Amino acid sequence: MFSIGDLVVYGGEGVCRVDSIGPAEIPGADKAKLYYRLSPMGRTGQVITPVDTRVLIRGVMNEADARTLVSHLADLEPEEPPMPGMRAAKEHYHAVVMSYDCERMARLIKAVCRKRHWAISHGKKVSQLDERYLKRAEDQFYGELSAALMMDRKELEAYIINIYPDWPE
């Protein structure tokens, strides 16, 4: 169980702070159950979820792991869909984003940015699917690393570019 003040990755919300733990004070909530009241770091509002939720909830990576990941970004191979085609790409991108794994998201970011660069340099349009999943992967990747390294997103992007000048922007 998490403690008040902990930073967690919660489902599609991304990084959240645990504000309180206790019975939910909302109509229809089971008063015998414990709930987390979470504040998403990327937006205003709150999320209330049972402590025993089936939605992914895990602690944010620690600072040492975040620094190690950033230092190895240059070594990561882009993560491409296993087969060509939009359907395979969508399934692959979705699986990567739903893994909530920062390394896999970094690989996806590299792959989609490489694909985008190729399309632009050949006078082609960039797929909306690619752009949508790129944004989701970047939001999750930068969100968790920002929390782990205690930097805002702009600082983090500058930090990464300083270490790895070829990181896709």
pLDDT value at position 75? 92
Helix 63-71 with 128-149: angle, nearest 10 deg: 130
pLDDT value at position 57? 92
pLDDT in tens, 32-86: 789 899 999 878 889 888 898 888 899 999 999 999 999 999 999 998 888 888 8
Mean pLDDT value across the chain: 90
- Average pLDDT on 110-116 reads 91
CB count in 10 Å sphere of residue 68: 12
pLDDT in tens, 119-156: 889 999 888 999 999 999 999 999 999 999 999 999 99
Is this structure's pTM higher than 0.85? yes
Q: What three-state secondary structure class fits 147?
A: helix
